[in-house]
Chain A
Amino acid sequence: NAGVTQTPKFRVLKTGQSMTLLCAQDMNHEYMYWYRQDPGMGLRLIHYSVGEGTTAKGEVPDGYNVSRLKKQNFLLGLESAAPSQTSVYFCASSYSREPSGELFFGEGSRLTVL
């Protein structure tokens, strides 16, 4: 079982470039999340999905788009990267709709925007 896999793990972009981060989970989870983590800022929710074909905004959605065309995949897109989007991005998934539902995280994608 791979769990939650994020690709790429590292990426350097120039301002204005676009890119897509891919999150894949093999646990048949309904819920998927994208967080960003910056020093001293904790984990901030960007977008999330409660099922295939659905997406919703989190705390800091501006500058990002997402898609959940397949249940196992959750894509995070940056249409025009900015230096403020330099961060570590974590994807997570959860099976249970119960409040106790544990989130399983990927290992992170480290993005630098120059």
Chain B
Amino acid sequence: GQSLEQPSEVTAVEGAIVQINCTYQTSGFYGLSWYQQHDGGAPTFLSYNGLDGLEETGRFSSFLSRSDSYGYLLLQELQMKDSASYFCAPRGRGQGGKLIFGQGTELSVKP
């Protein structure tokens, strides 16, 4: 079975740092992906964590702790264009290739 939890909304100001958390329960866990979706648009891949620790890609970083079944996406130097929905998606052994997404966190960046 699988369960996922993300906050539904987060608000932050331009230039700030924001963290979006994701807790999961996934059988045979492999790793955790993150996707970004701007309003009305197609989701796009941001990052994948297969190992514990921090993965950094520019202003975005993603963290994974397998022992805590927990991950987060860290966005630094927030810009207005970062206003979007962010989805975590755990991968599990035996899922046969399917990818289940969390309900998403809507990030609003204010001036």
Question: A40 and B103 in contact (CB under 8 A), knowing A50-B97, A100-B50?
Answer: yes
| Cross-chain pairs A/B with CB under 8 angstroms, 28 sampled | A33-B98, A33-B99, A35-B101, A41-B103, A42-B87, A42-B102, A42-B104, A43-B87, A43-B101, A43-B104, A45-B98, A56-B98, A58-B100, A59-B100, A94-B97, A94-B99, A97-B97, A99-B50, A100-B50, A100-B91, A102-B48, A103-B33, A104-B45, A105-B42, A106-B42, A108-B40, A108-B41, A108-B42
Contacting residues, chain B, for A43 (C-beta < 8 A): 43, 87, 101, 104
Question: A103 and B87 in contact (CB under 8 A), knowing A45-B98, A48-B98, A50-B96?
Answer: no
> Is the beta-carbon distance between B31 and A105 smaller than 8 angstroms?
no
- Name which residue of chain B comes closest to A108, CB basis: B42
Question: Considering the chains assembled together, what is the distance between the CA atoms of A105 and B102 in angstroms?
Answer: 16
Q: Tell me the minimal C-beta distance from A48 to chain B in angstroms.
A: 5
> Is the beta-carbon distance between B87 and A99 smaller than 8 angstroms?
no
Contacting residues, chain A, for B50 (C-beta < 8 A): 99-100
